[in-house]
């Protein structure tokens, strides 16, 4: 199945500063022999450098005064031979995208190239020569290099003495790699070169070279130094270091992938499917051999941009897909007519659907609808295809393989004793036209599974059990049989657990936990508690009101009529309960009478437990207790029968707060220190909002106070004229401890 693609991502290149040229994405060098000089002591070469940069990165432009260096081999190394200075590019152009009408070109991204060319004369003196250009820097967003933004580039070509002697031409690359490649799609790019003399070319991935650095980029350092952005070739010789790959990437696996991206040594075909998105530097070296002798090597380094791609149209049907042979597989079991659902997309770009199926040798059936229904003549394997936009440039194909298999029918039988809570035995009766049934999948109503042909299963809960068997044959065909089984046996053993066997009348409450299995609400449950009362609950709660010894009967009937019963003789004992009762004195206690005496009047009791509102506990029969304060108190008495049965009585006692305030009927304010002040005395705890007023016989107020502890000294308002001897009227008001309004009136005689 083919895939035409549309790029749906954009690449953003970052630029740290205006002069920091993070822009280089690749380059390569070739040469052409122009001929020998007159005396054949040297050769003139035309050398061409092609440099690639981001068109929209915002980085530095191509140099229009580029300097190139030429070095000669010397003692296992290189010595400076000459410089080719101030070269301007002679050609500058954008690298075109693949002009494919089925691919949308992303905006704002692209590659630009510049070509530099010059002639150089090299002597025929047995030396090799190396020609190179150095420049910083590469894109900082490259994924497979360590510190890519600080890594420069060196583009070089070595001209061997053998190549010079033959006036040889270097190979020339045929095409520049695609600017974008799609993640998880095979590259299949022909990166081959052509050689004018027909020499043998061998291809390999190799490490790109680095040179230069960032000196001079921010106004500091020397830009022409060997660590600068434009190294001076006269002082910065080879060998140039390889770029440093970031693990797990290496020079021979620069993109990773699944399968790993590789290059064919004989053809230069780059294949494999990269899986990681991003930007990746790749180096390709091409060695040139003639008669087994290495004449030279050219190299190109370039940047692959791996992006997410979506096909414009995708041929796809609702069926299994075999990625190995790119085929959709349809299996039909026992049915010769197959309905095929078309899931192709993008529908807005689909103009036509073309189907064909080879029904028999030489007999092809065709359709032009989106979905199709195809009837095949017999059991067998049939091929077909569905083509989107057939005959157009934007087309895609889905190959189809249809297998018509014999039918399979799942079937089974089962056996069990309807009234006995035992396992059900199942027996597979499935049949198929294939060789064998190879798998069984039993589902016991969600309460268990089995992969055996003839399993047995014991259900834990009674009910209508829905059992499903899915049988699968050697063709992969399957069928499911579902049956409903009424499984309502009675419990093999009735198990009842009362929460107690002894209780006390008249509220002898007993909880009967029915632990018998299987049983549920669909069963008929008959309880007889031995006191004339019954219940139909599975696990009832019953209250015995009269003392005695009682037998209990339980009967269980399943929905299909199976019965079981059990008698529990003399099982429950209900004892007589005491009757708790008590009195206390004084019967109207107050703040002045807080000690109370309690008298137990309980019947049929042998022990008591008193609780005085949590303040005090006593086991005496007739205790006394002095309350700490006024208030409302709950007094609890628990009386115990000799069997241990309790009865409880709670009475509420009010310890009333009181105000005791007394005023004299005469006083003698003569200054002798005796009875000089008219003032009240008594118990005033809890009293508030006190007010007392005194008037003379003419109705004139002579004294008023709100302080119960401040009396009248016989003068007007306690600081005026002396009041005459005589009878005076007093009145007082206050609010008592429990909020009641209290008042009193009287007379007092003033004697002098």
| pLDDT tens digits for range 57-100 | 666 688 888 999 999 999 889 999 999 999 999 999 888 766 55
Residue 101, pLDDT score? 58
Residue 434 pLDDT more than 80?
yes
Same domain as 237, residue 156: yes
3-state secondary structure 539-573: CCEEEECCCEEEEEEEEEECCCCCEEEEEEEEEEE
> How many structural domains compose the chain?
6
| pLDDT band, very low/low/confident/very high, at 18 (cuts 50, 70, 90) | very low
- Domain containing residue 677: CATH number: 2.60.40
- Domain containing residue 446: CATH number: 2.60.40.10
Is 8 inside any structural domain? no
Q: Which of 241, 209, 213, 210 is nearest to 225 (CA)?
A: 213
Residue 7, pLDDT score? 28
Q: What are the backbone angles phi and psi of residue 568, rounded to the nearest 5°?
A: -120, 90
| pLDDT band, very low/low/confident/very high, at 614 (cuts 50, 70, 90) | very high
Residue 99, pLDDT score? 52
**How confident is the model over 675-695, as a mean pLDDT?**
90
**Alpha helix (H) residue ranges in 85-189:** 161-165
Same domain as 596, residue 540: no
Same domain as 288, residue 331: no
Is 6 inside any structural domain? no
* DSSP secondary structure letter of residue 165: H
Residue 58, pLDDT score? 60
DSSP letters of 93-107? EEPPPP--TTSPPPT
Same domain as 336, residue 218: no
Same domain as 463, residue 396: no
Is 202 inside any structural domain? yes
Residue 682, pLDDT score? 85
CA triplet 83, 86, 90: central angle to 5 degrees?
115
All residues at 6 or more sequence positions from 91 whose CB lies less than 8 Å from its CB, including other chains = 113, 114, 115
Is 203 inside any structural domain? yes
Percent of the chain that is helix, strand, coil (3-state, to 5): 0, 50, 45
Domain boundary among 601, 632, 655: 655
| Range from 264-268, 364-368, 748-752 carrying the lowest mean pLDDT | 748-752
Residue 106, pLDDT score? 58
| pLDDT band, very low/low/confident/very high, at 276 (cuts 50, 70, 90) | very high
Domain boundary among 405, 431, 460: 405
CA distance 25 to 500: 90
CA distance 237 to 390: 59
- Token pair 């930007």: residue: 279
| CA distances, 524 to each of 168, 462, 527, 536 (Å) | 107, 13, 10, 7
| pLDDT band, very low/low/confident/very high, at 155 (cuts 50, 70, 90) | very high
* DSSP secondary structure letter of residue 453: S
| CA distances, 89 to each of 61, 80, 93, 96, 711 (Å) | 11, 24, 11, 19, 122
Instruction: Tell whether omega for the bond before 288 is within 30 degrees of 0, i.e. cis.
Output: no
Q: What are the backbone angles phi and psi of residue 743, rounded to the nearest 5°?
A: -150, 160
| pLDDT band, very low/low/confident/very high, at 561 (cuts 50, 70, 90) | very high
CA distance 491 to 422: 10
Same domain as 235, residue 127: yes
Handedness of CA 598, 601, 602, 608 (dihedral sign): positive
Same domain as 130, residue 63: yes
Domain boundary among 529, 560, 575: 575
CA distance 602 to 608: 9
Kindly report the number of other CB atoms within 10 A of residue 132's CB atom. 24
Same domain as 739, residue 596: no
Residue 109, pLDDT score? 66
What does the mean pLDDT of the chain come to?
91
CA distance 385 to 24: 46
| pLDDT band, very low/low/confident/very high, at 683 (cuts 50, 70, 90) | confident
pLDDT digits (tens, 9 = 90+) for 370-398: 999 999 999 999 999 999 999 988 899 99
CA distance 563 to 523: 10
pTM: 0.50
R_g of the chain computed on alpha carbons: 55
Residues 338, 344, 348, 353, Cα dihedral to 10°: -50
Residue 554 pLDDT more than 60?
yes
Residue 307, pLDDT score? 86
Same domain as 229, residue 172: yes
Same domain as 611, residue 700: no
Residue 611 pLDDT more than 90?
yes
pLDDT digits (tens, 9 = 90+) for 23-32: 788 999 999 9
Residue 323 pLDDT more than 60?
yes
**How confident is the model over 408-413, as a mean pLDDT?**
97
Q: Can you name the residues that pair with 667 across neighbouring β-strands? A: 750
Residue 19, pLDDT score? 37
All residues at 6 or more sequence positions from 41 whose CB lies less than 8 Å from its CB, including other chains = 123, 124
Is 5 inside any structural domain? no
Residue 207 pLDDT more than 50?
yes
Kindly report the number of other CB atoms within 10 A of residue 651's CB atom. 14
- The domain of 615 spans 582-655
Same domain as 122, residue 38: yes
Residue 471, pLDDT score? 98
Residue 226, pLDDT score? 92
pLDDT digits (tens, 9 = 90+) for 209-252: 999 888 887 777 898 999 988 899 989 999 899 999 999 999 99
Residue 512 pLDDT more than 50?
yes
Q: Do 379 and 406 meet the contact criterion of CB atoms below 8 Å apart?
A: yes
**How confident is the model over 322-328, as a mean pLDDT?**
86
Is 2 inside any structural domain? no
Same domain as 92, residue 226: yes
Q: Can you name the residues that pair with 599 across neighbouring β-strands? A: 583
pLDDT digits (tens, 9 = 90+) for 240-271: 999 999 999 999 999 999 999 999 999 999 99
Q: Do 605 and 639 meet the contact criterion of CB atoms below 8 Å apart?
A: yes
Is 136 inside any structural domain? yes
Residue 22 pLDDT more than 70?
no
Residue 184, pLDDT score? 87
Is 17 inside any structural domain? no
The percentage of the chain sitting over the pLDDT mark of 90, rounded to a whole number, equals 74
Residue 103 pLDDT more than 80?
no
């Amino acid at each position: 199945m083919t895939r035409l693609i549309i790029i749906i991502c954009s690449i953003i290149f970052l630029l740290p500063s205006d002069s920091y040229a993070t822009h280089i994405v690749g380059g390569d060098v070739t040469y052409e022999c122009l001929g020998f000089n007159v005396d054949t002591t040297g050769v003139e070469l035309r050398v061409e450098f092609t440099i690639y940069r981001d068109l929209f990165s915002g980085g530095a432009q191509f140099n229009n005064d580029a300097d190139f260096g030429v070095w000669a081999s010397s003692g296992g190394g290189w010595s400076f031979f000459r410089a080719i200075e101030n070269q301007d590019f002679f050609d500058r152009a954008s690298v075109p995208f693949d002009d494919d009408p089925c691919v949308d070109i992303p905006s704002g991204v692209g590659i630009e190239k510049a070509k530099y060319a010059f002639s150089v004369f090299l002597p025929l003196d047995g030396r090799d020569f190396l020609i190179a250009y150095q420049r910083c820097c590469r894109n900082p967003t490259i994924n497979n290099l360590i510190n890519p933004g600080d890594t420069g580039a060196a583009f070089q070509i070595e001209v061997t003495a053998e190549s010079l002697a033959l006036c040889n031409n270097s190979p020339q690359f045929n095409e520049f790699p695609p600017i974008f490649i799609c993640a998880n799609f095979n590259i299949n790019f022909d990166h081959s070169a052509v050689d004018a003399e027909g020499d043998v070319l061998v291809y390999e991935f190799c490490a790109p070279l680095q040179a230069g650095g960032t000196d001079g980029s921010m106004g500091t350092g020397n830009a022409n130094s060997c660590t600068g952005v434009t190294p001076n070739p006269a002082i910065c010789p080879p060998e140039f270091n390889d770029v440093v790959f970031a693990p797990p990437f290496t020079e021979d696996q620069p993109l990773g992938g699944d399968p790993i991206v590789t290059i064919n040594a004989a053809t230069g075909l780059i294949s494999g499917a990269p899986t990681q998105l991003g930007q990746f530097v790749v180096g390709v070296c091409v060695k040139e051999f003639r008669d087994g002798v290495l004449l030279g090597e050219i190299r190109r380094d370039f940047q692959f941009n791996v992006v997410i791609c979506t096909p414009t149209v995708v041929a796809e049907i609702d069926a299994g897909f075999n990625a190995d042979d790119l085929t959709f597989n349809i299996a039909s079991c026992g049915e010769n007519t197959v309905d095929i659902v078309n899931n192709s997309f993008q529908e807005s770009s689909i103009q036509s659907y073309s189907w064909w199926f080879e029904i028999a040798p030489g007999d092809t059936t065709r359709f032009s609808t989106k979905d199709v229904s195809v009837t095949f003549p017999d059991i067998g394997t049939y091929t077909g295809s569905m083509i989107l936009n057939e005959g157009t440039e934007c087309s895609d194909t889905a190959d189809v393989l249809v297998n018509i298999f014999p039918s399979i029918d799942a079937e089974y039988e089962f056996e069990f004793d309807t009234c006995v809570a035992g396992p059900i035995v199942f027996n597979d009766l499935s049949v198929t036209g294939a060789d064998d049934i190879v798998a069984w999948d039993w589902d016991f109503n969600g309460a268990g599974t089995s992969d055996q042909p003839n399993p047995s299963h014991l259900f834990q809960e009674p009910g209508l059990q829905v059992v499903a068997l899915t049988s699968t044959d050697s063709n992969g065909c399957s069928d499911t049989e579902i049956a409903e089984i009424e499984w309502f046996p009675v419990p093999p053993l009735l198990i009842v657990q009362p929460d107690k066997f002894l209780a006390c009348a008249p509220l002898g409450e007993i909880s009967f936990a029915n632990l018998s299995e299987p049983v549920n609400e669909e069963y008929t449950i008959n309880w007889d508690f031995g006191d004339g009362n019954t219940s139909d609950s599975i696990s009832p709660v019953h209250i015995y009101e009269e003392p005695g010894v009682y037998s209990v009967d339980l009967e269980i009937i399943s929905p299909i009529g199976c019965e079981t019963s059990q008698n529990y003789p003399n099982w429950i004992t209900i004892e007589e309960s005491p009757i708790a009762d008590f009195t206390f004195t004084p019967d109207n206690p107050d703040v002045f009478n807080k000690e109370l005496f309690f008298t137990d009047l309980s019947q049929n009791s042998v022990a008591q437990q008193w609780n005085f509102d949590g303040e005090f506990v006593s086991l005496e029969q007739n205790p006394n207790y002095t309350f700490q304060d006024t208030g409302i108190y709950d007094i609890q008495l628990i009386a115990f029968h000799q069997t241990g049965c309790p009865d409880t009585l709670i009475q509420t006692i009010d310890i009333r707060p009181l105000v005791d305030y007394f005023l004299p009927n005469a006083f003698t304010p003569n200054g002798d220190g005796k009875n000089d002040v008219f003032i009240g005395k008594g118990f005033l705890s809890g009293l508030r909002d006190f007010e007392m007023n005194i008037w003379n016989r003419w109705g004139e107020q002579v004294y008023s106070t709100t302080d119960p502890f401040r009396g009248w000294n016989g003068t007007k308002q306690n600081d005026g004229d002396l009041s005459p001897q005589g009878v005076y009227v007093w009145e007082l008001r206050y609010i008592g401890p429990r909020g009641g309004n209290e008042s009193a009136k009287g007379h007092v005689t003033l004697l002098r």
